[in-house]
Structure 1
Amino acid sequence: MAAGLNDYINEKFDITSKDIRTYSPLTLAYIGDAVYDLVVRSVLVNRGNTAVNNLHKRASAIVKAPSQAAIVASIMDDLTDEEKDIYRRGRNSKPHTKAKNASTIEYLEATGLEAVVGFLYLKGDMDRALNLIKLGLERNSLEL
């Protein structure tokens, strides 16, 4: 398997890999949020040149907490036991912020999804992360 982006970054910045199972769920969600956002933005941009305002509106509809909560609910049965554990840890964490336009439950469920995406990214399993994101988008009829 080819090295993932995280491995490449670690190599370029001379960082020794850590055991990601020891990372806090909020740390996993922190990087997972960025990875999820990058995936959504990449798909939108790669589908063709569009006005940035339109790109932002379409991306915002997908990356908001209620959409992420719906996505994770629709793929829960597809998660491995390890991924479910990471999700639960993320969902049950105590974030210090709250989403502006989401319920507390939606925000926590979105945090759980982001933790799973972050875990898979750091693990170097972007294929799995992308498959889960794509599956969740399709099951919720969320168009990119």
Structure 2
Amino acid sequence: MRDHLLLMGITKPGELQRNAVKFVSAKAQAFLISEMEKDAFLSEEELTYFKRGRNAHSKTTAKNTDVITYRISTGFEAVFGFNHLKGNDTRVKELARYCIQKISEQNF
């Protein structure tokens, strides 16, 4: 996300951080999963990995959000991790473009 923001010309550290949070916060990630489910954007296999990530027991706790949102965002990250580890770079880029578009349409 930071690379995307840098390409957009956002280079000041504080501004870069404020904008990056719009994309990578647990709240934003939970919103994005909700949108992906509405749009049927995820494959069955990706949904399986989302659920596995969401339901996995974590030794860390949510710092700035509630537990449910934190777990959903963990599932969101599992989808990206699954695709990355499988070498599905095209799909990772599709997911990133989708997320950038959806967040850009919102007022986070």
Quickly name the TM-score band, shorter chain normalised: 0.7 to 0.9
Give the deviation of 1:135 after TM superposition: 1.5
Give the structure 1 partner of residue 25 of structure 2: 64
Query: What is the distance in 2 between the residues matched to 1:119 and 1:67?
Result: 19
Percent of aligned pairs with the same residue? 34
- Structure 2 stretches of 5 or more lacking a match? none
Give the structure 1 partner of residue 86 of structure 2: 123
Relative CO higher for 1 or 2, CA cutoff 8 Å, sep ≥ 6?
Answer: 1
Query: What is the distance in 2 between the residues matched to 1:114 and 1:125?
Result: 15
Query: What is the distance in 1 between the residues matched to 2:92 and 2:13?
Result: 26
Are residues 61 and 103 of structure 1, via their aligned partners in 2, closer, same or farther at CA, if it must alter by over 3 Å?
Answer: same
1:43 aligns with 2:9: no
SS of the residue 1:78 aligns to: coil
Root-mean-square deviation (Å)? 1.6
Deviations 1:31-58 (A, max 9, x none): xxxxxxxxx1110112225211110111
Deviations 1:6-32 (A, max 9, x none): xxxxxxxxxxxxxxxxxxxxxxxxxxx
Give the structure 1 partner of residue 63 of structure 2: 100
Amino acid at match of 1:122: L
Deviations 1:58-82 (A, max 9, x none): 1122211010000111112211111
Give the structure 2 partner of residue 18 of structure 1: none
Give the deviation of 1:142 after TM superposition: 4.6
Are residues 73 and 49 of structure 1, via their aligned partners in 2, closer, same or farther at CA, if it must alter by over 3 Å?
Answer: closer
